[in-house]
Amino acid sequence: MATALKAGDDFPEGVTFTYVPYTPENASVTACGIPVKYDASKEFKNKKVVLVSVPGAFTPTCQNTHIQGYIEKLPELKAKGVDQVIVISYNDAWVQAAWAKANGIKDEIIFASDDGAPFSSSIGWTLGPRTARYAIVVDHGKVVYAEKEPAKDVTVSGVDAVLAKL
């Protein structure tokens, strides 16, 4: 049974994503690179992290409304103590890497894959087979904010909602 995360919960063990780390050699949008595993459970124990989930890369709401806020307000997030912002979607690691590069992102934000949505499914936050739109703030292993969008808008998972909770 999927259990949604809520403030006060420990971030679960065994959560991994995949992503393609930026290198000058794979800077082109069409360069593939090699995906690596990101052990979120391990990494989140030592950092303050904003995990943002979207249904799909390059889709209108995800691109134009949701992710742009995080890109534009990254300095504000950092000023509030955020060590890392991670954007996940149902898309594979190569699509996520291309999406990051198309937005001018190198390594300032990790664009990773919840390929097949195992993490999102484990917390019951999916849209059919895809990842749902949500945001989770984890501070050294503890969930301090976790909200899934109730409708198609970007409200509780947008950067302004997250900044208000930091």
**Please, which residues bridge with residue 142 across strands?**
10, 139
Alpha-carbon gap, residue 95 to 164, rounded angstroms: 30
Alpha-carbon radius of gyration of the chain: 14
| Tokens read off for 83 | 């060590």
Which is catalytic among the residues 62, 88, 109, 137? 62
Half-sphere exposure of 121 (CA within 13 A, CB side): 9
Half-sphere exposure of 72 (CA within 13 A, CB side): 10
Residue 132: what are its φ and ψ, rounded to 5°? -80, 175
**Please, which residues bridge with residue 18 across strands?**
37, 113
Q: Is 32 a catalytic residue?
A: no
In 3D, which of 34, 32, 29, 100 has the Cα closest to residue 67? 100
Alpha-carbon gap, residue 87 to 94, rounded angstroms: 13
Return the active site residues.
Answer: 62
